[in-house]
Structure 1
Amino acid sequence: MTAAHTDPADKKPARAGWRAALSTVVFGLLLGGFAVEATARWVLDRGMDFDLEMWKYARDLKRVSANPAIGHEHQPGTSGTYMGVPVRINSQGLRDREFAPAPPAGVTRVVMLGDSVTFGWGVRDADTPSKLLESALNTGLARPAWEVMNTGVGNYNTAMEVAWFFDHGPQLKPDIVVLNYFINDAEPTPRRKEAGWRQHSYAAVMFYSAIDKVDRQYFGKADWKRYYGDLYRVDAPGWRAAQQAVGRLARWCRENNVRLLIANYPELHALKPYPFQPVTDAVAQMAAANNVPFVDLRPGVEALKPETLWVSPTDAHPNRTANLRFAAQLRQAVLQSAPGTTPAPNLRIH
């Protein structure tokens, strides 16, 4: 009996069919992915989604810092439009005009350290806390006597801000340093890496943002009140790092005859009653422990409806209205901390 013989040519149609099916699937996936990405970019993106705009800002204007303690920093000479607002980064890596290495004779220089609130997320250059403070300080003067430098960077915490200052701040020749504090500044320093594939996809950003929101609302991930409260546990690493950073900055300022002021910005979702007063008190105690004047900026806005202070209905960063109120309080605090004055120890300014 002769064994059955299969002609190799008989397998060719099957192989060709399998390859055609696989090619069809791959092509369909690629086409579907392209359609999803195109929809995210040109249909869903209206230029006012917080997560997407913050991602664009990080992608376009930031780079990984050579100092791991800083994490990321602005890329000098870059620009873009975010939340409908133009943003330009100068040659010094600041969202501000260009500054001389030292202030002109007779001019007091204020360096504002901070995060996206100080940076002025969602507002124009002139409406950032730094520029409104500069305008308020110089109002009525025959010639400008104050320079206020905006060194705020989005997604910084206090430890990162202080690390940035020790790399760059002394060269700016400040007379006064204002450490602008927001409730999330006790977060641990993130591990920032070079961009991966996700950071080139609008659809991926929207997808992971949606997953995070659903997780928070329906599956027990800490809500914002509980999340912020947990940052200030005694054993919380970010809060310990923030306190250590403030102590280091306070010592440097005393040794170099530079005035230091800590300004606390309120979380703008609820102002009266304010759910985070214990956090404000903890920051005030940190300032007092370092003999640093402290100003609580909530009284300037607590009589207003919170939503009137936001840059958009879904983004509670301070708008121009809020920043004007903050600048008025900061003006008083800065004048009381100016060179030539004698601020009382543990001064708490309201």
Structure 2
Amino acid sequence: MISRLRPYAVKLLLALSSIVLTVGLLEGGTRLVGISPQPERFQLTPLLGWQWTPGYDQSEAYKGTQFRMTVNQQGLRAPATDHNYAIPKPPGTLRVLALGDSVVASPGVPWDETFVAQLEAELQRDFSARTVEVINAGTDDYSTEQERIWLQEKGLAFAPDLVILHVYLNDSRSFGAPTPRVAQITNFLAQHSAVYALVRQVQIANQVAQEDFRFRYMPALEAGEWRTDTAVLTELIQTADRDWGLAWYDQAQRTVEENVLQIQQLTAAQGIPLLMVLFPVNVQLYAEVDTPLGLTTPQQEFALFAGQHDLPVLDLLPVLEAVPDDDLFFDQVHIKPVGHAPIARAIAHALRENQLLPGDER
């Protein structure tokens, strides 16, 4: 019996050896032409789809502006990769969780200039007898559904005294998540394989082409005719229906509201106050005309929803309109450093005004 199996075993061994040799040659050849594994900003996760890669530390450029992106070992944007937040929370610590997508992560803005860091400094002045921590829990392209999952599965472990939910107009978008095995293999290859790095370059090029449909409104946005032409403004909003234009659709609005309600329930169950902060699209700030769709319809809908559910809300549109600078945005959503200080002050004011801070312990 053994003698009969021996030829098959030899063939299997030869096949495996051939595969290993081929992979080795491909890997070596790819490295010889100058391609090597590159640090990945994100890693796959079956829970959330993607998340920041712990320990990521790179100098990056966003819209021509250099900044350093550092992610701590807990997968949060932080001042340094070793700037982690103690669990359990140390006594005497006032901890605020800033939950959101890239508007919170703040690409293009150095850490000290982000509104999260400036809010921390503002609150530290109010609570000089305590250690104040404002945790940046913003992840690029997250929806309110992902933010809800992150809060439930990870965020509450930080024992925040307050949660600030930052909402942008495309937060109803759905997401896909890999299986645990796919996530594990992909993350390993991203860290160790030059061939994977080459495949990623091709994949990113294809992804850019796919994203062209989502951002097909960009030529009209950059042309700027929407500033003074009602018809062009209306068409622009409708063309952005895979991005921020979603907020003008009832179903998308209801999707966000459902997740916000669940976030409110999660925080209320823990006795944690919640503030919702609304980020506008630049079109709402700079359009000189209105549209039959209603230029501020999303904010009005959120205000109505918040009032019905006793949820404090801060609309940043009037805050940014009051900033004497007509160049506040890197793009349609992300705000330059000049806009972060007024945002931090406005959030601090909203926290005080709504009595969301532990005033008896100042």
TM-score (norm 2): 0.67
- State the secondary structure of the residue aligned to 1:317: coil
The AA in structure 2 aligned to 1:72 is W
Quick one: which of 240, 263, 268 aligns to 1:254? 268
C-alpha deviation, 1:262, in angstroms: 0.3
Tell me if the contact between 1:264 and 1:297 (Cα under 8 Å) persists in the aligned partners. yes
Deviation track 1:76-131 (CA, whole Å, cap 9, x = no partner) reads: 11222332211111011100131111443333211010000101111111122211
- State the secondary structure of the residue aligned to 2:340: helix
2:300 aligns with 281
2:116 aligns with 130
Larger Rg: 1
The verdict on how the C-alpha distance between 1:157 and 1:279 changes in structure 2, with shifts beyond 3 A counting, is same
- Work out whether 1:183 is the aligned partner of 2:169: yes
C-alpha deviation, 1:144, in angstroms: 4.8
Tell me if the contact between 1:123 and 1:319 (Cα under 8 Å) persists in the aligned partners. yes
C-alpha deviation, 1:252, in angstroms: 1.9
Q: Whole-Å Cα distance in 2 between the matches of residues 87 and 293 of structure 1?
A: 31
Tell me if the contact between 1:198 and 1:205 (Cα under 8 Å) persists in the aligned partners. no
1:113 aligns with 99
C-alpha deviation, 1:259, in angstroms: 0.3
- Work out whether 1:329 is the aligned partner of 2:309: no
Q: Whole-Å Cα distance in 1 between the matches of residues 298 and 56 of structure 2?
A: 35
- Work out whether 1:99 is the aligned partner of 2:121: no
1:78 aligns with 56
Deviation track 1:147-179 (CA, whole Å, cap 9, x = no partner) reads: 100010001011111111111011000110000
Moved more, 70-79 or 89-98: 70-79
Moved more, 87-96 or 181-190: 181-190
C-alpha deviation, 1:207, in angstroms: 5.3
Tell me if the contact between 1:137 and 1:331 (Cα under 8 Å) persists in the aligned partners. yes
Tell me if the contact between 2:280 and 2:333 (Cα under 8 Å) persists in the aligned partners. no
Alignment map for 1:282-301 (pairs within 5 Å) = 282-301=301-320
The verdict on how the C-alpha distance between 1:143 and 1:341 changes in structure 2, with shifts beyond 3 A counting, is closer
The verdict on how the C-alpha distance between 1:255 and 1:310 changes in structure 2, with shifts beyond 3 A counting, is same
Tell me if the contact between 1:120 and 1:127 (Cα under 8 Å) persists in the aligned partners. no
The AA in structure 1 aligned to 2:351 is V
Q: Whole-Å Cα distance in 2 between the matches of residues 73 and 105 of structure 1?
A: 29
- Work out whether 1:61 is the aligned partner of 2:52: no
Q: Whole-Å Cα distance in 2 between the matches of residues 224 and 154 of structure 1?
A: 23
The AA in structure 2 aligned to 1:106 is G
Q: Whole-Å Cα distance in 1 between the matches of residues 215 and 156 of structure 2?
A: 41
Moved more, 168-177 or 193-202: 193-202
Tell me if the contact between 1:65 and 1:73 (Cα under 8 Å) persists in the aligned partners. yes
- State the secondary structure of the residue aligned to 2:112: helix
- State the secondary structure of the residue aligned to 2:321: coil
The AA in structure 1 aligned to 2:356 is A
The verdict on how the C-alpha distance between 1:101 and 1:184 changes in structure 2, with shifts beyond 3 A counting, is same
C-alpha deviation, 1:300, in angstroms: 1.7
The AA in structure 1 aligned to 2:50 is H
Q: Whole-Å Cα distance in 1 between the matches of residues 173 and 326 of structure 2?
A: 25
Tell me if the contact between 1:61 and 1:74 (Cα under 8 Å) persists in the aligned partners. yes
Aligned length: 281
The percent identity for this pair of structures is 21
1:338 aligns with 356
- Of structures 1 and 2, the one with the larger relative CO (CA 8 A, separation 6+) is 2
The AA in structure 1 aligned to 2:152 is F
Q: Whole-Å Cα distance in 2 between the matches of residues 185 and 214 of structure 1?
A: 18
- State the secondary structure of the residue aligned to 1:151: strand
- Segments of structure 1 that go 5 or more residues without pairing to the other structure are 1-33, 42-56, 343-350
